[in-house]
Amino acid sequence: MIAREYAESWLEKTQGALLRTMGLKKHFPVLGGVLKRPVAWVRAVDGVDIWIQRGETLGLVGESGCGKTTLGRTIIRLLDPTEGHIFYDLPEETIKRIIEAEERGDKQELKRLREQFDLAAMKGKKLKEYRRRMQIVFQNPLTALNPRMMVKDIVAEPLVVQRIAKGEAAMERVLEALQAVGLGREHLRRYPHEFSGGQRQRIAIARALVLRPEFLVLDEPTSAVDVSVRARLLKLLGELQEKYGLTYLFISHDLSQVQVISDRVAVMYLGKIVELADTQTIFEKPLHPYTQALFSAKPVPDPVLARKKKRIVLKGDVPSPVNPPSGCRFHPRCLKRFEPCDKEEPHLIEVEPGHWVACHLYPPG
Ligand code: SF4
């Protein structure tokens, strides 16, 4: 249930965004006992509010297991959300109608509106329509590309599945997508193993582009390739964004890459967003203690600056998402924790224009 006051200010702040999530959750059951019933829940994504403007790149960072990939997959409905909303290219007026129906407790109207407009609740044909507009590039092209299929069939597959084109028309679209990523007609009849890691990732990008989407989730798209190829892939992604007006959610643990490609950066810890700001602000002045620690580990190319830089070493491991700590989830590892931190959960608030932090060090107002 969204508190109306919060929702209204949220809508004002996120005006015109292509994608907005509100209270988005994805929990996975831990099955146990003879009957294999859920005995606990892994709270991989646990109440995430983010927004992405059209044509923008939002970088998503955090340690392994913090929920970044699950969030990316839930947003484009590769995974079904447990709770919450995903508003994609939806006018504020329609979102308000959904919030009002929720507040009134009008279950029938809420169900009708959500199935029609809320990506988190869509099904069947409607969901398929939206999926066409949102695609994903996976981390490892070796596992994402079927080794027994030729490139022409791999790239054409989404067109066939969505029944958009076949035969000659499909091949034209395939060629167009391949050329956009720097490949060509001569690659159509080859198999994935005949390509280098960088070229394989280009094929994966072409497959995502063939449906002419607006929004791409890039899930660690350069982590499986050599360092020398990474810069070229990042450049390609930037060019494609400009050419096609794409919007990106760029998921990575590589802070240097995130800094290069992102307009804004969101930091995730144990299923929640703890800080969000434009790239320059967050790298120059991180406010959340977790972000400060995470960013202090970023390599500095200048050896003099590197020597001066103070690294914040966090003690302890990331707690289990099955049983996250009470209050602020970061409190067992936080060097700045104080009285309310283990009891009260901090909420994401705007502490400076465009700079959002979830930490009791920055109280509202
Ligand atoms: Fe640290 Fe408290 Fe802020 Fe959490 S709320 S990050 S424990 S200071």
| Domain spans of the chain, in order of start | 4-32+39-133+213-357
Predicted local confidence at residue 305, as pLDDT: 65
pLDDT classification of 156: cutoffs 50, 70, 90: very high
Predicted local confidence at residue 227, as pLDDT: 84
Average pLDDT taken over every residue of the chain: 92
Predicted local confidence at residue 234, as pLDDT: 94
Mean pLDDT within 157-175:
92
Predicted local confidence at residue 212, as pLDDT: 95
Surface-to-core class of residue 32, CB atoms within 10 Å of its CB (0-12 exposed, 13-18 middle, 19+ buried): exposed
Instruction: Give the separation between CA 281 and CA 119, rounded to whole angstroms.
Output: 31
Mean pLDDT within 158-183:
93
Instruction: Give the separation between CA 269 and CA 188, rounded to whole angstroms.
Output: 42
- 48 strand-pairing partners: 24
pLDDT classification of 84: cutoffs 50, 70, 90: very high
Predicted local confidence at residue 19, as pLDDT: 97
Plot region of 83 (φ>0 → left; ψ -120 to 50 → alpha; else → beta): beta
- Tokens 């947003």 sit at which residue? 75
From the CB of 328, is ligand 1 less than 6 Å away?
yes
Q: Ligand 1, residues 267, 272, 273, 361: which to mutate, most atoms within 8 A of Cβ?
A: 361
Q: Indicate whether 307 pLDDT > 70.
A: no
This prediction has a pTM of: 0.93
Q: What is the largest CA-CA distance in the chain?
A: 67
Mean pLDDT within 96-107:
92
Q: Whose CA is closest to atom 1 on ligand 1?
A: 337
Predicted local confidence at residue 2, as pLDDT: 56
From the CB of 336, is ligand 1 less than 6 Å away?
yes
Q: Indicate whether 71 pLDDT > 90.
A: yes
From the CB of 341, is ligand 1 less than 6 Å away?
yes
Relative to the CA of 289, which ligand 1 atom is closest?
6
Sheet-wide strand order for 247-251: 134-137, 215-219, 247-251, 57-61, 264-269, 272-278, 355-357, 349-352
Q: Whose CA is closest to atom 7 on ligand 1?
A: 331
From the CB of 236, is ligand 1 less than 6 Å away?
no
Contact call for residues 285 and 270 (beta carbons, < 8 A) = no
Q: Which residue has the higher pLDDT, 107 or 304?
A: 107
Predicted local confidence at residue 312, as pLDDT: 81
- Tokens 């109608």 sit at which residue? 97
Predicted local confidence at residue 34, as pLDDT: 84
Q: Ligand 1, residues 270, 292, 347, 359: which to mutate, most atoms within 8 A of Cβ?
A: 359
From the CB of 270, is ligand 1 less than 6 Å away?
no
For 137, residues 6+ apart whose C-beta sits below 8 A from its C-beta are 201, 204, 205, 208, 216, 217, 218, 219, 221
48 CA to centre of ligand 1 in angstroms: 18
Mean pLDDT within 265-284:
97
Predicted local confidence at residue 306, as pLDDT: 65
CATH code of the domain occupying 4-32+39-133+213-357: 3.40.50.300
325 CA to centre of ligand 1 in angstroms: 12
DSSP secondary structure of 137-159 = E-S-HHHHS-TTS-HHHHHHHHH
Predicted local confidence at residue 45, as pLDDT: 97
Q: Which of 25, 62, 43 is nearest to 250 (CA)?
A: 62
Q: Which of 197, 325, 203 is nearest to 270 (CA)?
A: 325
Q: Which of 248, 280, 296 is nearest to 354 (CA)?
A: 280
Q: Indicate whether 270 pLDDT > 60.
A: yes
Contact call for residues 81 and 70 (beta carbons, < 8 A) = no
Predicted local confidence at residue 9, as pLDDT: 78
